[in-house]
Structure 1
Amino acid sequence: MSDTASSSGSGIDPKGGVVPCSTRVMNLATFLSQAARRVSDNVSLVWGDRQWSWRETEARVNAMAHALVHEFGVQKGDRVLVQSANCNQMFESMFATFRAGAVWVPTNFRQTPDEVAYLAQSSGASLMICQAGFAAHAEACAKTSPALTKFIAIGDAAFGEDYDAIVARNEGQTLAPVAVDRDDPCWYFYTSGTTGRPKAAVLTHGQMAFVINNHHCDLFPGITSDDRSIVVAPLSHGAGVHQLTQVARGATTILMPTERMDIDALWRLVAEWRVTNLFTVPTIVKMLVEDPAVDRYDHSSLRYVIYAGAPMYREDQKRALQKLGKVLVQYFGLGEVTGAITVLPPVMHSLEDGEAARIGTCGFERTGMQVQIQNEQGEEVAQGETGEICAIGPAVFAGYYQNPEANAKSFRNGWFRTGDLGHMDAQGFVYITGRQSDMYISGGSNVYPREIEEKLLQHPAVGEVAILGVPDPVWGEVGVAVCVLRPGERADAAELAAFLDGKVSRYKLPKRYLFWDEMPKSAYGKIAKKLIREELDKRGELDPQPARLSA
Structure 2
Amino acid sequence: MKGADTVAELVRRQWGDHRIGLRDEHHTLSHHEVAAGAAARAALLVDLMPPLPGGEPHLGILLDNTPEYPLWLSAAALAGAAVAGINPTRRGAELARDIRHTDCRILVTQRAHLPLLDGLPLPGLRILVTDTDAYRELLAPYDGARPGDATLGPVRPDSRFLLSFTSGSTGAPKAALCSQGRLAAAGASLATHFSVRPDDVHYVCMPMFHGNAVIADWAPALCAGAGVALRARFSASGFLPDVRRFGATYFTYVGRAVQYLLATPPGPDDHAHALRLGFGTEAGAVDAARFRERFGVPLVEGYGSSEGGAAIQRTPDTPTGAIGRAAPGDDLAVLDAETGKECAPARFSPEGRLLNTDEAVGELVNRGRSPFEGYWRNPEAEAVRLRGGWYWTGDLFYRDEAGFLYFAGRTDDRLRVDSENLAAAMIENILARWDRAAGVAVYAIPDPVAGDQVMAALALRPGAVFDPAEFAAFLAAQPDLGTKMPPRFVRVTRELPLTATNKIHRVGLREESFLCGDPVWWRPAPTGPYEPLTPEATAALQEQYARHDRTPTWDRRRG
Name the TM-score class by shorter chain. 0.7 to 0.9
Specify every segment of 5 or more residues in structure 1 that has no aligned partner in the other structure, as ranges: 1-24, 349-356
Q: CA, structure 1 residues 152+538, in 2 after alignment: closer, same or farther (shift >3 Å)?
A: farther
Among candidates 285, 288, 298, match of residue 258 of structure 2: 285
**Aligned equivalents of 2:255, 2:341: Cα separation in 1:** 32
Alpha-carbon shift at residue 294 of structure 1 (Å)? 5.7
* RMSD between superposed Cα atoms in Å: 2.7
Segments ≥4 residues shifted beyond 6 Å:
none
1:43 pairs with 2:20: yes
When structure 1 is superposed on structure 2, of 187-196 and 206-215 the one drifting more is 206-215
Q: Contact conserved, 1:274 with 1:299, CA < 8 A, in 2?
A: no
Worse-matched range after superposition: 109-118 or 495-504: 495-504
> Corresponding residue for 1:245?
220
2:13 counterpart SS class? helix
Q: Which residue of 2 aligns with 1:149?
A: 125
Residue type of the partner of 2:482?
S
Aligned partners of 1:406 and 1:132: how far apart in 2? 34
> After the TM superposition, which residues 101-120 of structure 1 pair with which residues of structure 2 at under 5 Å, given as runs?
101-120=80-99
- The letter of the residue matching 1:380 is E
The answer (yes or no) to whether the contact 1:514–1:550 under 8 Å persists in 2 is: no
User: Match for 1:97 among 70, 76, 80?
Assistant: 76
Are residues 1:198 and 2:152 paired?
no
Cα distance in structure 1, aligned partners of 2:94 and 2:38:
28
Equivalent positions of 1:398-417 (< 5 A) are 398-417=373-392
Distance 1:395 1:206 in 2: 14
Conserved? CA contact 1:62–1:96, under 8 Å: yes
> Does structure 1 retain, via aligned residues, the 8 Å contact 2:236–2:264?
no
C-alpha separation between the residues in 1 aligned to 2:234 and 2:157?
38
Task: Give the equivalent residue in structure 2 for 1:379.
Answer: 341
Conserved 8 A contact 2:370-2:391: no
Q: What does residue 363 of structure 1 align with?
A: 324
1:203-242 superposed matches below 5 A? 203-218=178-193, 220-221=194-195, 223-237=196-210, 238-241=212-215, 242=217
Deviation at 1:52, TM superposition (A): 0.8
Q: 2 CA distance for matches of 1:497 and 1:34?
A: 59
Matches within 5 A, 1:534-549: 534-536=511-513, 539=516, 547=524, 549=530
Q: CA deviation at 1:260?
A: 5.8
> Could you tell me how far apart the structure 2 residues matched to 1:271 and 1:393 are?
43
Structure 2 residue runs of 5 or longer lacking an equivalent are 347-359, 533-559
Q: Does 1:444 align with 2:392?
A: no
Please state how far the C-alpha of 1:523 moved relative to its aligned partner: 1.1
Q: 1:205 to 1:292 in 2, by over 3 A?
A: same
2:486 maps to which residue?
509
Contact 1:211 1:395 in 2 (8 A): no
What is the Cα deviation at residue 325 of structure 1?
A: 3.0
What SS does structure 2 have at the residue aligned with 1:235?
coil
Q: Is the 8 A contact 2:458 2:492 kept in 1?
A: yes
Which residue is equivalent to 2:269? 296
Partner of residue 261 from structure 1, selected from 235, 241, 244: 235
CA shift for structure 1 position 132? 1.7
Secondary structure of the residue aligned to 1:315 is helix
Structure 1 residue 80: deviation in Å?
Answer: 0.3
- Higher deviation after alignment, 226-235 or 529-538: 529-538
Q: Tell me the residue number matched to 2:550.
A: none
The AA in structure 1 aligned to 2:319 is R
Aligned residues: 500
CA distance in 2, matches of 1:373, 1:280: 26
In structure 2, how many angstroms separate the alpha carbons of the residues matched to 1:395 and 1:153?
38
Q: Deviations over 1:379-422 (max 9, x none)?
A: 33333322101236677321111111111111123322111111
3-state DSSP of counterpart to 1:335: coil
Q: Give per-residue Cα distances to partners, 1:412-447, cap 9 Å, x unaligned.
A: 233221111111123221101121111121222212
TM-superposed deviation, 1:134: 1.7
Shift of 1:97: 1.3
The structure-2 alpha-carbon separation of the partners of 1:337 and 1:537, relative to structure 1 and needing over 3 Å to count, comes to farther
Decide which moves more: 41-50 or 443-452.
443-452
TM-score normalised by L of structure 1: 0.84
Q: 1:188: how far off?
A: 0.3
**Paired amino acid for 2:305:** L
Give the C-alpha shift of residue 297 in structure 1: 5.5
State whether structure 2 residue 148 is matched by structure 1 residue 173: no
Distance in 1 (CA, whole Å) between partners of 2:87 and 2:327 is 27
CA 1:51–1:149 in structure 2 vs 1: closer, same or farther (change >3 Å)? same
Q: Deviations over 1:24-68 (max 9, x none)?
A: x9441221111224xx11111112132111111111111111111
* Residues 68 and 404 (structure 1), Cα distance of their counterparts in 2 relative to 1, 3 Å cut: same
Distance in 2 (alpha carbons) for counterparts of 1:486 and 1:426: 38
Q: 1:270 and 2:243 equivalent?
A: yes
Name 2:397's counterpart in structure 1: 422
